[in-house]
Amino acid sequence: MNDNATEAKPEPWALPSLEEVLATLAARNIAVPEGNRRVGAFGDSAELSDELLGLITSGKKRGGACLLWTYETLGEALPCVGDVEIVLDHRNQPAVITCTVKVEAKPFCEVGADFAAVEGEGDGSLEYWQREHWKYFTRECARLGRVADPAMLVICETFEVVRVIAE
């Protein structure tokens, strides 16, 4: 992750509905696997979204982290193993379809090097993960009316790419 949030991404609650995204994909003759389907996005700026989607499509990034507080604020269920997620780009267009293979909730201060490597950002180190996610989660907390805390719960999700959606 990086700290450049100059071009604002729509807030998560501004994402199109699952039905809208499925209709967009159906119009392009793209089938979405059956299962618990959901819509999501990575990053809070166009630049960060593009960077993270690039890491996913290159095979380097196989995980994502989100604050429990975000799910609670949005009233969304936590991800579960087997979930099928349609990941949108910063323009709210479908970019990738993933399937969740592992979910763990951990305090920020207890996320380990193994998960930092799975996320595949920067040099893949825990130090990089902590520094850049602290910046991101601090911005997220400000949007949620909260204060970042080392004990805040992070939902660590590991996924497999099912399909990269070409434009």
pLDDT at position 45: 87
Name which of 139, 142, 137 is nearest 153 in CA terms: 137
Between vectors from CA 139 to CA 116 and to CA 132, what angle results, nearest 5°? 25
Contact yes or no for 107/118 (Cβ under 8 A): no
Read off the pLDDT of each residue in 9-23 and give the average, rounded to a whole number: 77
Buried b (16+ CB within 10 A) or exposed e, 152-165: bbbbbbbbeeebeb
pLDDT at position 43: 87
Write down the domain spans for the chain.
15-164
Contact yes or no for 143/9 (Cβ under 8 A): no
CATH 3.10.400.10 given to domain 15-164: yes
Report which of residues 32 and 15 the model is more confident about.
Answer: 32
Q: Does 2 score more than 80 pLDDT? A: no
Q: Does 60 score more than 60 pLDDT? A: yes
Q: Does 4 score more than 50 pLDDT? A: no
The DSSP 8-state label assigned to residue 108 in this structure reads G
- Tens digits of residue pLDDT in 69-97: 999 998 889 999 999 999 999 999 999 99
State how far the Cα of 123 lies from the Cα of 126, in Å rounded to an integer. 9
- pTM summary value: 0.88
**To which residue do tokens 């618990």 refer?**
36
pLDDT at position 11: 52
pLDDT at position 167: 63
> Could you tell me the sign of the dihedral formed by the alpha carbons of 127, 61, 89, 85, in that order?
negative
Q: How many CB atoms lie within 10 A of CB 44?
A: 22
Contact yes or no for 49/119 (Cβ under 8 A): no
Buried b (16+ CB within 10 A) or exposed e, 126-135: eeebeebbeb
